[in-house]
Amino acid sequence: MKTLRFIIFVSFLIITDFALAQKVEFTVLGAKGLIKVGEAKLKVGSKITTGQSIHIGENSYLGLATADNRVMEITQQGTYTTQQ
């Protein structure tokens, strides 16, 4: 009986971990101007996860590091959504 409870408990933890986990796609290296994720303004060191939308205002700059340590810059105004 204790073994069955343990198996159910471990299964619950694993399922919960998969359900709540969001993969970090980018880390903010530099930001200038109006840059938001939802209502929150992005700061250096912020993490951007899968499925988040980033709004970049006019005359703004966003420098990002990808999960595999590549660097990218976005300077064009618009809304961008991260994907897997």
pLDDT tens-digit profile of 6-46?
777 767 666 665 555 567 788 999 999 999 988 889 889 98
| Residues 57-79 pLDDT 10s | 999 999 999 888 899 999 999 99
Q: Band of the pLDDT at 4, cuts 50, 70, 90?
A: confident
- C-alpha–C-alpha distance, residues 19 and 35, integer Å: 28
Tokens 């530099």 found at: 30
14: phi then psi, degrees, rounded to nearest 5:
-65, -45
Closest CA to 30 of 9, 49, 45, 8: 45
Answer yes or no: are the C-beta atoms of 51 and 25 closer than 8 Å. no
Query: What's the confidence (pLDDT) of residue 22?
Result: 62
